[in-house]
Amino acid sequence: MGYTSPRQIFNAEEEFQLETYIKKACDIYFGLTLTEVRKLANDCGKALLKSLP
């Protein structure tokens, strides 16, 4: 959100799935720190073989 498209890594569906996972973790009181969220996003990007253009 707020990034121009050359910097966007995830498409809308992938971003929605990541957002949903983070919200579910919060709902069950398994909150993630900002550092953990960044690491999760990085790991997801690596798993999906994403990289900056």
CA distances, 6 to each of 25, 34, 38, 52 (Å) = 29, 23, 19, 8
Question: What is the structure's pLDDT at 3?
Answer: 56
Q: How many domains does the chain have?
A: 1
pLDDT digits (tens, 9 = 90+) for 3-53: 556 677 888 899 999 999 999 998 898 878 999 999 999 999 888 887 665
- 23 inside domain: yes
CA distance 34 to 50: 21
CB 40 within 8 A of CB 18: yes
Domain with 27 in it: 9-47
CA distance 38 to 46: 12
Q: In 10 A of CB 8, how many CB atoms?
A: 14
- 39 inside domain: yes
- 27 inside domain: yes
- 4 inside domain: no
- 3 inside domain: no
